Structure 1
Amino acid sequence: MATTRPDKTLDVRDIDGPPFEDIMAALSSLESDERLRLVAPFEPKPLYEVLEARGFAFESEQRDDVWHVHIERA
């Protein structure tokens, strides 16, 4: 995966309720060469299968108590 800075950021820590629909909307708006940085208060493991099934590649890392998942089209 590219190590360049993501083009868009979605911080789900401020979303009231489950963030799944917000994440899917952000991903559907990505251009083919854009990336999304998802910021979450926990590792979004259930999301990983969905991303793979929908043709996305991702890398995740934990910094302090926050997870950063970098997502792009595979």
Structure 2
Amino acid sequence: MLPPQRPSKPMNYSELWTIDDVSNYLGVPKQTIYSWRHTGYGPKGFRVGKHLRWRSAVVIAWTLGLEKDE
């Protein structure tokens, strides 16, 4: 498995993230995120037309919640 890539631009934490952004941030393959979405696990995303998007704050809050559960 390849290491996660750094985003090419600094991320603004109020922006919407693509599947690539979420994948890079979490360090998991895109397919893992699609699988999580199918099972109801992972940060809550939504569709903008045919495109999946995630609020960066939601993804970050989800990871913080995982840390609290440890």
Same fold (TM over 0.5): no
Give the TM-score normalised by the residue count of structure 1: 0.31
Bigger strand share: 1
Q: Which has the larger radius of gyration?
A: 2
